[in-house]
Each structure stands twice: as C-alpha cells, then as structure tokens.
C-alpha cells in the first residue's frame, strides 16, 4: 500500500536493507537445520550399521547408546538454530 506523496527516506532504505539481510540469515539457518537433519539420519544408519557389524550381528548396548546420542546432539543443534532464528525475527520486527 502506497500513500500518494510519500517518498522513501534514506532511513527507510537502510531499514529495508537490514530486514532483507536478516531474512537471508534466517533462511541460511533454516537450510543448516535441514542439512543437519539429513546428516543426522545418514550418520545414525551408518553408525548403527557399523556397530551391529562389529558386535557380530548381536544387539549390544553401544547400539542403543549411539542411537540415543546422535538424535540428542541433533536436538541440541536444532534448538540453538531455532533460538537464533527467533532472535533474528524479533530484530526484524523491531526494524
């Protein structure tokens, strides 16, 4: 919506540029989260497969420990990424 006679000021342009940069940062964090999910799933299958093979195809507690540690590490990374996304979005709202 534009108002007749309104001209963008220099401060308006700076604000729009800042919001655009912050939006790009949020998108990069979102891409990082998606790639981390992919890596977590891949690592989970590889590690559990290797542990089962090294344990002579028997269930061992190391399989359960690895099956727990990898998702917990992902959860922590995802939580940190979400925290920064929320912070950046709140800065965008203020601008």
**Residue-averaged pLDDT of the chain:** 84
Side-chain-side CA neighbours of 9 within 13 Å: the count stands at 3
Give the tens place of pLDDT for each residue, 47-64. Answer: 888 888 888 877 778 778
Tokens 């655009």 sit on residue:
20
Question: What pTM did the predictor assign?
Answer: 0.65
SS3 call for 95:
coil
Determine the average pLDDT of the residues in 25-47: 88
Split at pLDDT 50, 70, 90, the class of 26 is confident
């Amino acid at each position: 919506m534009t108002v007749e006679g309104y001209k963008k000021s220099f401060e308006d342009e700076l604000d729009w540029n800042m919001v655009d940069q912050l939006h790009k940062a949020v998108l990069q964090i979102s891409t990082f989260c998606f790639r981390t999910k992919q890596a977590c799933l891949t690592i989970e299958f590889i590690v559990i497969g290797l542990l089962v093979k090294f344990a002579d195809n028997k269930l061992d507690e190391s399989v359960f420990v690895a099956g727990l540690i990898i998702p917990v590490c992902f959860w922590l990374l995802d939580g940190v990424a979400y925290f920064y996304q929320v912070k950046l979005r709140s800065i965008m709202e203020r601008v």
